[in-house]
């Protein structure tokens, strides 16, 4: 088994499950955030390869959800993602992720984790 195939079958499905657990996100929610369909999410769970842009958004979402899960309960991670945020000029973190602007959300999450967020 190649390293890439091992990554996809072990990595992507595990990350999808982690996102679902950490942020209480359904496949349709994840699909919307990464710019695909719930059917594509199902295929990824079976070992299909996401396109590069979708993979990158998925990995950003995975990192954000896992970091927030260290601070909040899963239902609160979900609410945080879909609530308006003052640090994003009143926009929702989920919208920034969906638009491919996760780095702005990552910066806020880093502030939360270090205690610099007020």
- What pLDDT, on the 0 to 100 scale, is given for residue 1? 36
pTM beyond cutoff 0.85? yes
What is the structure's pLDDT at 6?
35
Consecutive H or E run containing 82: helix 74-82
**What number of other Cβ atoms are within 10 A of residue 117's Cβ?**
13
Cβ proximity of 112 and 103 under 8 Å: no
Structural contact between residues 27 and 38, judged by C-beta atoms closer than 8 angstroms: yes
Kindly list the domain boundaries of the chain, sorted by start residue.
Answer: 3-114
Digit-coded pLDDT (tens) for 26-37: 999 999 999 999
- Which residues does residue 91 pair with via DSSP β-bridges, in sequence order? 85
Dig out the tokens for 25 from the structure.
């996100």
| Lowest-pLDDT range of 6-20, 55-69, 76-90, 92-106 | 6-20
Is the pLDDT at 9 greater than 50? The verdict is: no
């Amino acid at each position: 088994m190649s390293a890439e195939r091992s990554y996809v079958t072990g990595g992507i499905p595990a990350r999808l499950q982690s996102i679902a657990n950490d942020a209480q996100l359904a496949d349709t929610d994840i699909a919307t955030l990464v710019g695909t369909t719930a059917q594509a999410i199902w295929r990824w769970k079976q070992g299909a390869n996401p396109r590069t842009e979708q993979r990158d958004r998925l990995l950003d979402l995975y990192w954000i959800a896992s970091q927030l899960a260290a601070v909040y309960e899963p239902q609160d991670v979900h609410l945080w993602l879909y609530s308006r945020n003052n640090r994003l000029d009143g926009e929702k973190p989920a919208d920034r992720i969906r638009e491919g602007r996760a780095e702005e959300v990552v910066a806020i999450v880093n502030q939360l984790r270090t205690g610099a967020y007020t």
